Structure 1
């Protein structure tokens, strides 16, 4: 690799992982005041208490994982009747909304495999990719988005078997060592699904928080699903999007000198994992 390429990559990473996230932080502070989460900030949540999956993940894939966003609207109340097999698949949802975790085929397939001993080949998710292979020489639209996605990850049975074998490795690794952050995983050579070449916090499990503090799964399906199946009580996650009404509660808590001065509405959330760091 030439010196120019190394310098370019270094500058690109500085801009992407530091300058732009802090720029977004400053913009959010200017718009919403105190209570803005710092770039890379993580909170600890119980994965068993997350009931819904956001469709489409990362808000139509326009959001950047290193940033934190505040968004109004009814995205946190739009409950969809259809189930979902795989976030980012070709299932063609035409609206932003929520699907129950229990109707999320990727999660239920993993649960049936690990809890009931169902072979991978008999799970819904395996059959889905086996019946809908993605040749590497074609592109595919993402869910409700025209942005093309390269195939190849699940193009052949050998590749498919290798991918599901990695999920087995992830399960055993998490069962033995517990849930480790991406920063901690970087120090381990054998860690499956670890992000070696990105900012650690940008590849943690992503969640969104609705107006009433409801935590919604967004991305990081492998680690989220395995942690939930193992019954882990707490995992670190990064909040990608907060509803603007929820951010108003964070702002009130951040501004107060005494919790006794808080409104009844805000006082109800003092033990919420996204509020505790502000108290």
Structure 2
């Protein structure tokens, strides 16, 4: 709650009353539906179908992607954080298959400037002890006040446990390479628990989450620990799940879906190697 109040005050200072009221209202609605989802709605195929229909513009489009499809991405290509909000990571299951217009894809916030990403760089690239890292010191201060700033930590014991869990995650990826969640489940292995519980049926799809900008750029949404480790270890490719697409990028998908391959314009052809378009290209080959 304290973190939410701080965010609300920051939005009020930077954006004014109207923007604050709009974002608070949106947060309350999204939080309500997410809570209902975790209580059972996410188990309903009809509810999932409703979310896909609503988030994709009430069936205005034809080239609707499978929101649970996992695609490959170069970690180094994920440079910026999505500007879509509020809390796109927390509400990622409410946002499945979203297509949205606006300037949310023009964010200048860099992934490598996120506090957690910087902390992991200090730990694994600079070799610093966890207690020497400013972010962890701040997490402990907040935990002593009962505020969970990182991975649900509300005590110093929690912080130590989670630091150890991240060390284990790094060691596992370094030793066994980066594995998808489905591969981990099939191997009956476990990964450290995240800062929030996810519905069981979504666990096989709990990968690094990205949005896609109007230009086809991947924008970070969720999974900062795994993404940071993949970058540090210079892993070439990781599985990601796409949460939202900019409406202009969706038009690229629509054009590719509706236009014979020999007539595809150059503006679309330049994206033909994009991971988000491969299913459309494969479908056209099978026709």
- Give the TM-score, by structure 2 length: 0.73
RMSD, aligned α-carbons? 2.8
In the alignment, structure 1 residue 51 sits paired with structure 2 residue 54: no
User: Does structure 2 retain, via aligned residues, the 8 Å contact 1:135–1:152?
Assistant: no
In the alignment, structure 1 residue 73 sits paired with structure 2 residue 73: no
Q: Secondary structure at the match of 1:59?
A: coil
Shift of 1:210: 0.6
Structure 2 distance, partners of 1:129, 1:162, is 13
- One of 22, 25, 32 as aligned partner of 2:52: 25
Check 1:201–1:73 CA distance in 2 against 1; reply closer, same or farther (3 A cut). farther
Shift of 1:255: 2.0
Shift of 1:54: 2.6
Structure 2 distance, partners of 1:29, 1:263, is 25
Shift of 1:71: 0.5
In the alignment, structure 1 residue 246 sits paired with structure 2 residue 274: no
Check 1:261–1:241 CA distance in 2 against 1; reply closer, same or farther (3 A cut). same
In the alignment, structure 1 residue 111 sits paired with structure 2 residue 110: no
User: Does structure 1 retain, via aligned residues, the 8 Å contact 2:99–2:245?
Assistant: yes
Check 1:201–1:36 CA distance in 2 against 1; reply closer, same or farther (3 A cut). farther
- One of 251, 270, 276 as aligned partner of 1:274: 276
1:41-62, Cα deviation, whole Å (9 max, x unpaired): 1111011111112355643855
Structure 2 distance, partners of 1:152, 1:217, is 18
**What residue number does 1:83 align with?**
none
Structure 2 distance, partners of 1:62, 1:216, is 16
Shift of 1:197: 2.6
1:75-132, Cα deviation, whole Å (9 max, x unpaired): 11142xxxxxxxxxxxxxxxxxxx1122112111101211121111112321220222
Structure 1 window deviating more from structure 2 (64-73 vs 162-171): it is 64-73
In the alignment, structure 1 residue 227 sits paired with structure 2 residue 256: no
Could you say which structure has the higher strand fraction?
A: 1
**What residue number does 2:32 align with?**
none
Length, aligned pairs only: 238
Structure 2 distance, partners of 1:173, 1:201, is 18
**What residue number does 1:41 align with?**
69
- Give the TM-score, by structure 1 length: 0.75
Structure 2 distance, partners of 1:181, 1:57, is 27
Check 1:267–1:135 CA distance in 2 against 1; reply closer, same or farther (3 A cut). same
Structure 2 distance, partners of 1:75, 1:196, is 27
Q: Which segments of 5 or more consecutive residues in structure 1 lack a partner in the other structure?
A: 1-8, 80-98, 143-150
Structure 1 distance, partners of 2:157, 2:48, is 39
